[in-house]
Amino acid sequence: MNSISPGPSDLSEWIARIRGCDMPVFARTVDALRRIIGDERASASALAQVILKDASMTTKVLRLANSAYFNQAQQGISTVSRAIVVLGFDPVAQLALSVALIDALLGGSLRSRVNLEMARSFHAAVQARWVVQRRGEQQGEQVFIAALLSRVGEMAFWCFGGEHAQALERCMKQGEMREEEAQQVVLGFSLRHLSAGLVREWKLGSLAAAAIEGDARSHGPEWAVVIGNRLARASEDGWDSIGARRVIREAADYLGLPPSVVSAEVIANAGEAARVAAFFGAPEVGRAIPSADVSVVAPEPEALAVPSAPDAALQLRILQDLAAMSLERAAIADILQLAAEGLVRGVGCERVVVALLTRDRMHLRGKFGLGSGGEALCAQFSFSMDGDPEDVIDDALDSGTASWVDPARVERGGTERLCAVTGCESGFIVPFGLASRQIGVFYADRNGRGLDEASWRAVQHFALQASLAVALCEGGGVPG
């Protein structure tokens, strides 16, 4: 075997390298998402804010949310906020986590091996979800994600293993050892253990960890993940192979179904897995899944792309969603989140801040921000309410009057406090609340770039819808 340059010497060093050097962006995304998933008090708006920071993630999460595989009711979904309402908090969070992982791994160096491992993961995920659903259980999405993550070590290694990955590739091509034996010879550990270590390191869930480490109960969801992985691997030798027939019989016994029924359905599942991979933005991976004759076509990237300019059709869909949420008496915080998302994705605003008056009405403080720089601006968006009728902020909340801040308005005075915080002389500040009692404002701009009349009207429409929602809520209270 050719000598290779020194690198990580053991499993713990490989985990540290992948976490700290090779996938730091994914690690930060995981941290943000896991904090939200693990916090029972976390709001839908907090989850939406994490997803909306990444335009590519937003597009892919929305594409998946609109796919028949995840949205069986086929409700049209235009925003992340609505996806959370329709699909649920945890499924959307897990989809975002999976999208982040796939994006981080698609640029791997040993592309053929990365595609193979990713194909196994998608195939196992679809088969595992099918097993759970066939048993009439309600953990389909959890099992799907656990199976998708169960080969994270294999995928990460082939992406970032460098010379070690090439050495392992050469060893495996010789065909004299099984995969795990070759991994032990080259690395001193199996990649299955690397998967287990990364799942623990990133806290990707006890279900994935149990399935990887072999702690699978005979009738628990972990076993569905195990069966999914076995079906995916066995299919690589052909569905008529001895190994595939054995796993199909095993699945049939577990489900209490005839092997002929299971065989037909798992073959169909393989085709479904190829289509699901395409929806995650990995059509090449889908074509690597052993299946029946299935044509895998990448979805149109434009279909749900985050617009860089105002999109009147998207504005209308979001306003309709806002009206529906208002009639359903949804939480004001969720309605404000959706309105802010509409300003970013539909109106084309670059920075949006939703600010609320404190209960004593003495201060206006940023609640959350969206868009490029929106979160940073929100952290600075804090003003005392001095009752100065000349001040644009005081006037907005005292009189309920919206203001279009531009150089001419700046020249007249009263915008000094606002411009000192925003750093630009072009923006909209629009109050919302009850006719007799405003509770907050939307601030929106394009970070110094010019605004137009159409955007001005659109921002006011979104603020009006938020005000209607406040009026419908009992007491018109300020969200906590």
Query: What is the pLDDT tens value at each position of the chain, 480 positions in all?
Result: 455 555 677 899 998 888 777 777 787 888 888 788 777 666 777 888 888 888 888 988 999 999 888 888 778 888 898 898 888 888 898 899 889 888 888 866 667 888 899 999 999 999 999 999 999 888 888 899 999 988 999 999 998 888 888 899 888 888 778 888 999 989 999 999 999 999 888 888 888 888 887 655 556 788 899 999 999 999 999 999 999 999 999 999 999 999 999 999 999 999 999 999 988 888 889 889 987 555 555 555 444 444 557 889 999 999 998 998 888 888 888 899 999 999 999 999 999 999 999 999 999 999 999 888 888 999 999 999 988 889 999 999 999 999 999 999 999 999 999 999 999 999 999 999 988 889 999 999 998 888 999 999 999 999 999 999 888 875 444 444
Using left for φ > 0, alpha for ψ between -120 and 50, and beta otherwise, residue 330 falls in beta
Cα gap 78→283, rounded to integer Å? 23
Cα gap 462→468, rounded to integer Å? 10
User: Number of helices and strands (H, E) in the chain?
Assistant: 24, 6
pLDDT in tens, 337-371: 999 999 999 999 999 999 999 999 999 999 999 88
CATH of 11-287, one of 1.10.3210.10, 1.10.520.10, 3.30.43.10, 1.10.10.60: 1.10.3210.10
pLDDT in tens, 291-345: 755 555 555 544 444 455 788 999 999 999 899 888 888 888 889 999 999 999 9
The answer to whether the beta carbons of residues 171 and 185 sit under 8 Å apart is: yes
Q: What is the pTM of this model?
A: 0.78
The answer to whether the beta carbons of residues 92 and 52 sit under 8 Å apart is: no
Burial 277-306 (b: 16+ CB within 10 A, else e): bbbbbbbbbbbbbbbeeeebeebeeeebbb
CATH of 312-476, one of 1.10.10.10, 3.40.630.10, 3.30.450.40, 3.40.50.2300: 3.30.450.40
| Residue boundaries of the structural domains of the chain | 11-287, 312-476
The answer to whether the beta carbons of residues 394 and 477 sit under 8 Å apart is: no
